[in-house]
Amino acid sequence: MRYLSSFRDYLRRNFIKRLLIWVGIGISVLFLYVALRGLNLAYVWDIMLRANYWWIIPGVLVYFLGVWLRTWRWHYMLRQFKPVPIKRLFPVVCIGYAGNNIYPARAGEVIRSYVLKKNEDIPISGSLATVLVERIFDGLVMLLFVFFALPFTTSIPESYRNFVVLLSVIFGVTLVAFIAISARPQWVMRFYTPISTRFLPSSLRSKVDGMVDRFLFGLASLQSPVDVMMIFFTSVLIWLAETLKYWFVMHAFNFSVSFIVLMLMNGIVNLFTTLPSAPGYIGTFDAPGIEVLVTVGGVDRAMATAYTLVLHAALWLPITALGIYYFFRERLHWSDFEKAAQEVEAATEAATND
């Protein structure tokens, strides 16, 4: 009966995974339909052919400055485990972002922690805690960009405003909860210990206890106000660098909007990419980006579409190509994505000695 139950759990987990993948694909198709409906695609293609693509070069350079800043931020957050030199951490970050662009459900975050464990022996559960902190700060900075730009832009769609308010509540509550947990981990253990003692078999309890301890240790960067400010300030620089790429790519096309509008666009599109989608944030990046340029920036829809599609490609291709290069240089295989997911799942179920 135990094996039958395990088999049923396996089928259930795989059904949920496949369902989430198809839900993401469906959302991407819907957003692409919204983005492209009623457009003369031949005209959009003609605009793309006439763009001055030399402007993408400085855009890519400043984007990789942002990737280096991301690496420094992660290096700073991981130091409680061990000091990892940035030159060794940079390839791991690139592999992770390539994984996000190729595989669904942000699988790159898992492969990033998997490679870090393989290279530096830092526990997956601990490094994943730092990745979650990164995502929270990224979301908060995106919201900051949106709120900073809103007074200068009155024509943002009401649905976008409601979405921003909802995410503000979610990210704000999550950050407060994480800071409280990092400052008072004993509160978590006081709640967790009686539950684990009552419901977990003794053979698994020590493994789950270890995973919880490492996760809480991974949140240690939120214990110090100085660390919180350092992470927040670095996050602002990261996203300003990405907005600067938006600005450079804009010069390849025959239109102009203010940097504030591009900050708003950056904030909106990256908040929408938190929704499930096909790999590479297809649709969830493009539709809101086009809408912001049209409704707020007053850009012709065909021009906005051509620019957004080129920008999306310029954001996707360089980091993906570099990540794949580092992936093979590390002598990894495509099956390692699945191994990483299985290892995290096994750790969650306390079936490994992470």
Report how far residue 172's alpha carbon sits from residue 30's, in angstroms, rounded to the nearest whole number: 29
pLDDT classification of 352: cutoffs 50, 70, 90: very low
Lowest mean pLDDT among 79-93, 140-154, 183-197, 272-286: 183-197
Model pLDDT, residue 213: 53
pLDDT digits (tens, 9 = 90+) for 222-237: 667 788 788 889 999 9
Contact 157, 290 (CB under 8 A): no
pLDDT digits (tens, 9 = 90+) for 69-124: 999 999 998 888 888 999 999 999 999 999 888 877 677 888 888 889 888 988 88
Report how far residue 9's alpha carbon sits from residue 7's, in angstroms, rounded to the nearest whole number: 5
Return phi, psi of residue 66, to 5°.
-65, -40
pLDDT classification of 315: cutoffs 50, 70, 90: very high
DSSP state of 220: G
pLDDT classification of 148: cutoffs 50, 70, 90: confident
What's the chain's average pLDDT? 80
Measured CA to CA in angstroms, residue 18 lies from 14, 21, 23, 280, 346 at distances of 6, 5, 9, 17, 19
First and final C-alpha spacing in the chain: 28
pLDDT digits (tens, 9 = 90+) for 29-42: 999 998 999 899 99
Model pLDDT, residue 333: 72
pLDDT digits (tens, 9 = 90+) for 328-339: 888 877 666 666
Highest mean pLDDT among 111-115, 123-127, 286-290: 286-290
Identify which has the larger pLDDT, 200 or 253: 253
Per-residue pLDDT at 5 exceeds 50: no
The amino acid sitting at 134 is: E
Give the closest residue to 105 by CA, choosing from 212, 12, 215, 22: 22
Domain ranges of the chain: 2-348
Angle at 294 between CA 157 and CA 98, to 5 degrees: 90
The amino acid sitting at 205 is: R
Model pLDDT, residue 10: 41
Model pLDDT, residue 53: 96
Highest mean pLDDT among 15-29, 178-192, 237-251, 254-268: 237-251
- Percentage above 70 pLDDT, the chain: 70
Predicted TM-score (pTM) of this structure: 0.80
Per-residue pLDDT at 348 exceeds 50: no
pLDDT classification of 278: cutoffs 50, 70, 90: confident
